[in-house]
């Protein structure tokens, strides 16, 4: 076959949404000649839905991407219009940063970063077919007839595969925000043996700011001082734009329910699986019929536009129903809709076809990231993008892949959930999905992951030096807190002012810091022996003091968890020949080929008794040394 153009690259990234951007930057920064393809260059890092980065658990992912050397946190810090730390009334494990961003500035900033990367080529084109020879990816063919060869391919197609939008009775074959959809890649994936499913997500209407009465809504101001995502950002100091909150009411619900029979979700015109954790407004009214009202957040889309995003009102209702319902809401009685909400359905793969590296189990050099894997959300996509990018680079290098365990990072939880458990609906990260969330806090993402990024080659000297200074500050503070101090009038006065009981004998400073109302700076004002440290180091020291017992118990749970994770399963193990395994377990294990005994235990349909049979089999075939080594390692850690 003759192609109108041909070129060779080390790595190709098909798609330039949030997953594709992180994957492409990762590969190029590691020195590989990288091609990134995008259906439309004006949609690079597009925030087609909410113009926000972070949020509950998602903020953890952004900090982890940043700690590994990714770009999302830096971009959010440069383009935010409001920053808020969520869940501050709860413990530090669930504190999550959220930024309202300038949608267009974020896109332009990411596009410019790609354009400036020397090893990166950006082309507007559509990946239509994946080329595979002898079980290994060799390149792609584009819709326009160009052929590009590669040693590794990362597919980041987002929600564009045969996508269709719905607004009431109207539907159209197109991608999000009026963009073109991808036509041919679904067929290519099916030919390669990937199981495709149909998922659905949606977006709310946008309204014009001048048509609203914001003074009748509840003001939602940003935090002062302004927090930041990236561990490299020194200070966020510019002015912030306010958001506002209002509520639906009985009249709103009447207007929505009256048009329910015209909603494609309830008329049967959409058969795709919806996202349970971000339901449409019509779905909320059906599922939570007892609720008298629902929160809505009115958020700016940027500094140079008057469009406002109506968070909480995702819908595919007809246009007239959307407008009638919005005009029943306080402060929105005269609102003007600039863009109507819509539902979008699209093709995605069954992610259990992947291993925890996000690589295909059957085709060497082929990786997937983002909503194509059944996830939802910019942050989940970007997290998969950097992991897939790292592993594509490691594959080309001929070096071992990076597997982040569930005890290492939220990114590890995300990759393991998708590849091991799969998903029957758009997957959204939540803190409740992480068994070890007290260890996987957003504040210590750099302490957990920056060394990994450094070893791979993504972490700059500047970032690494900053981590070393933080570690040194933490250690100096720990050492100083070991000092025993005698009781004094000044100390007891401070304790009483904080609602704490005084002391009558000598006490370690670390013991005083364990008291919930006592902070490091409180003690520092009384005791010159405590060194001045960075705010980030001080935060770590205070968390260790206040939650030390819980942290140690969680570390013990991790040691037990890793005893199974460290027992590797031979890649050529014949599960069909293992007597004692139930039929379902044989089928699931043969299909997914887990890397470790721990991963096998999380596959749906594999029971504890099946794991016991596997252990016996491993000992019988000579893998008992690996098991013993794993047990010894766990003992040493304990």
- 86-91: list long-range contacts, CB under 8 Å, 24+ apart: 86/55, 86/56, 86/59, 87/56, 91/438, 91/547
| Domain spans in the chain, listed from the N-terminal domain onward | 8-50+105-198+348-435, 206-345, 474-553, 566-637
pTM: 0.94
Give the percent of the chain with pLDDT over 90: 88
pLDDT band at 426 (very low <50, low <70, confident <90, very high): very high
Query: Angle at CA 370, nearest 5°, toward 147 and 150?
Result: 25
CATH number corresponding to 474-553? 1.10.10.1800
Distance of CA 98 to the CA centre of its chain: 13
Whole-angstrom Cα distance, residue 635 to residue 592? 30
534 contacts: CB under 8 Å, gap ≥ 6: 469, 470, 473
474 contacts 533 by C-beta, under 8 angstroms: yes
206-345 and 566-637 agree in CATH topology: no
Of 203, 316, 339, 317, give the one whose Cα is nearest residue 259.
317
Place of tokens 């700059």: 460
- Average confidence (pLDDT) over 465-478: 98
Predicted local distance difference test score (pLDDT) of residue 265: 82
Predicted local distance difference test score (pLDDT) of residue 114: 98
Whole-angstrom Cα distance, residue 163 to residue 170? 14
DSSP H or E stretch at residue 83: strand 80-86
Q: What are phi and psi of 381, to 5 degrees?
A: -65, -50
Q: Is 345 exposed, middle or buried (0-12, 13-18, 19+ CB in 10 A)?
A: buried
Q: Give the model confidence (pLDDT) of 543-583 as tens digits.
A: 999 999 999 999 999 998 988 898 999 988 999 999 889 99
Q: Give the model confidence (pLDDT) of 80-118 as tens digits.
A: 999 999 999 999 999 999 999 999 999 999 999 999 999
DSSP H or E stretch at residue 19: helix 18-29
C-alpha pair distances (Å), 176 with each of 68, 115, 222:
30, 24, 29
Instruction: Give first-to-last CA distance, the chain, whole Å.
Output: 61
Whole-angstrom Cα distance, residue 630 to residue 155? 35
Distance of CA 255 to the CA centre of its chain: 35
Q: Give the model confidence (pLDDT) of 358-396 as tens digits.
A: 999 999 999 999 999 999 999 999 999 999 999 999 999
Taking each helix axis from N to C end, the angle separating 445-456 and 461-481, rounded to the nearest 10 degrees, works out to 140
| The three-state (H, E, C) secondary structure of 225-265, written as one string | CECCCCCCCCCECCCCCCEEEEECCHHHHHHHHHCHHHCHH
Taking each helix axis from N to C end, the angle separating 378-397 and 445-456, rounded to the nearest 10 degrees, works out to 30
Q: CB-hemisphere CA count at 13 Å for 200? A: 20
Could you say which of 3.50.50.60, 3.60.15.10, 3.40.50.300, 1.10.10.10 is the CATH number of the domain covering 8-50+105-198+348-435?
A: 3.50.50.60
Q: What are phi and psi of 227, to 5 degrees?
A: -75, 175
pLDDT band at 235 (very low <50, low <70, confident <90, very high): confident
**In this structure, what token pair is assigned to residue 543?**
């968390």
292 contacts 307 by C-beta, under 8 angstroms: no
Whole-angstrom Cα distance, residue 611 to residue 617? 10
Residues in the chain: 638
Q: Give the model confidence (pLDDT) of 249-276 as tens digits.
A: 999 999 999 999 999 988 888 888 777 7
Instruction: Label residue 177 left, alpha or beta by phi (over 0 means left) and psi (-120 to 50 means alpha).
Output: left
DSSP summary character for residue 359:
B
String of DSSP letters for 394-447? HHHHT-PPP---TTT-HHHHHHHIIIII--SS-B---GGG-TTTTTS-STTHHH
Could you say which of 2.40.30.260, 3.40.50.720, 3.30.9.10, 1.10.240.10 is the CATH number of the domain covering 206-345?
A: 2.40.30.260
Q: Is 334 exposed, middle or buried (0-12, 13-18, 19+ CB in 10 A)?
A: exposed
| The three-state (H, E, C) secondary structure of 140-201, written as one string | EEECCCEEEECCEEEECCCCCECCEEEECCEEECCCHHHCCCECCHHHHHHHCCCCEEEEEE
Predicted local distance difference test score (pLDDT) of residue 1: 56
Instruction: Report the top-level CATH class of 566-637.
Output: mainly alpha
Query: Angle at CA 198, nearest 5°, toward 43 and 606?
Result: 120
Predicted local distance difference test score (pLDDT) of residue 629: 46
């Amino acid at each position: 076959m003759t192609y109108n153009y041909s070129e060779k690259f080390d790595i190709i990234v098909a798609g330039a949404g949030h997953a594709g951007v992180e994957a492409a930057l990762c590969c190029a920064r590691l020195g590989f000649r990288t091609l990134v393809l995008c259906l439309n260059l004006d949609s690079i890092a597009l925030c087609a839905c909410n113009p926000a980065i972070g949020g509950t658990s998602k903020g953890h992912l952004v900090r982890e991407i940043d700690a590994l050397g990714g770009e999302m946190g830096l971009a959010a810090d440069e383009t935010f219009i409001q920053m808020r730390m969520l869940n501050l009334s709860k413990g530090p494990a669930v504190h999550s940063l959220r930024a309202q961003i300038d949608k267009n500035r974020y896109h332009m900033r990411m596009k410019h970063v790609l354009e400036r990367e020397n090893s990166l080529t950006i082309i507007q084109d559509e990946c239509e077919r994946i080329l595979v020879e002898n079980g290994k990816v060799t390149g792609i063919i584009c819709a326009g007839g160009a052929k590009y060869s590669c040693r590794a391919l990362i597919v980041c197609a987002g929600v564009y595969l045969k996508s269709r939008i719905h607004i009431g009775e109207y539907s159209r074959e197109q991608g999000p925000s009026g963009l073109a959809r991808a036509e041919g890649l679904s067929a290519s994936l099916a030919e390669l043996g990937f199981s495709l499913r149909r998922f659905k997500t949606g977006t709310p209407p946008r309204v014009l700011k001048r048509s609203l009465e914001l003074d009748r809504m509840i003001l939602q101001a940003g935090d002062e001082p302004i927090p930041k995502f990236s561990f490299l950002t020194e200070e966020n100091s510019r002015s912030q734009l306010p958001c506002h909150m209002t509520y639906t009411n009985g009249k709103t619900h009447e207007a929505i329910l009256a048009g329910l029979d015209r909603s494609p979700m309830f008329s049967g015109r959409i058969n795709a699986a919806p996202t349970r954790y971000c339901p449409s407004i019509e779905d909320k009214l059906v599922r939570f019929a007892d609720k008298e009202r629902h929160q809505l957040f009115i958020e700016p889309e940027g500094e140079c536009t008057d469009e406002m995003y109506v968070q909480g009102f995702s819908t595919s209702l007809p246009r007239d129903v959307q407008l009638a319902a919005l005009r029943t809401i306080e402060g929105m009685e005269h609102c003007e809709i600039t863009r109507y909400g819509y539902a979008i359905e699209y093709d995605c793969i069954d992610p259990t076809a992947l291993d925890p590296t996000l690589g295909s189990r059957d085709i060497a050099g082929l990786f997937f990231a983002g909503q194509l894997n059944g996830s939802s959300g910019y942050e989940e996509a970007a997290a998969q993008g950097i992991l897939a990018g790292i592993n594509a680079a490691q594959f080309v290098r001929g070096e071992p892949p990076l597997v982040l365990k569930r005890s290492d990072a939220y990114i590890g939880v995300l990759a393991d959930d998708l590849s091991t458990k799969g998903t029957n609906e758009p997957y959204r990260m939540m803190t409740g999905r992480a068994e070890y969330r007290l260890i996987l806090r957003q504040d210590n993402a750099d302490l957990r992951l920056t060394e990994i990024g450094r070893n791979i080659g993504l972490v700059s000297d500047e970032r690494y030096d900053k981590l070393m200074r933080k570690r040194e500050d933490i250690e100096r503070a720990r050492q100083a807190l070991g000092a025993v101090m005698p009781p004094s009038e000044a100390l007891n006065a401070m304790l009483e002012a904080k609602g704490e009981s005084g002391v009558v004998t000598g006490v370690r400073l670390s013991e005083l810091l364990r008291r919930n109302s006592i902070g490091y700076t409180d003690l520092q004002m009384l005791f010159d022996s405590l060194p001045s440290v960075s705010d980030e180091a001080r935060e770590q020291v205070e968390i260790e003091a206040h939650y030390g017992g819980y942290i140690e118990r969680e570390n013990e749970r991790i040691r037990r968890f890793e005893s199974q994770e460290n027992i590797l399963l031979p890649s050529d193990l014949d599960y069909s020949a293992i007597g004692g395994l139930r039929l379902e377990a044989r089928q699931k294990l043969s299909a997914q080929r887990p890397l470790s005994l721990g991963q096998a235990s999380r596959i749906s349909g594999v029971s504890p008794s099946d794991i016991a049979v596997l252990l016996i089999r491993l000992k019988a075939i000579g893998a008992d040394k690996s098991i013993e080594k794993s047990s010894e390692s766990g003992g040493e850690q304990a």
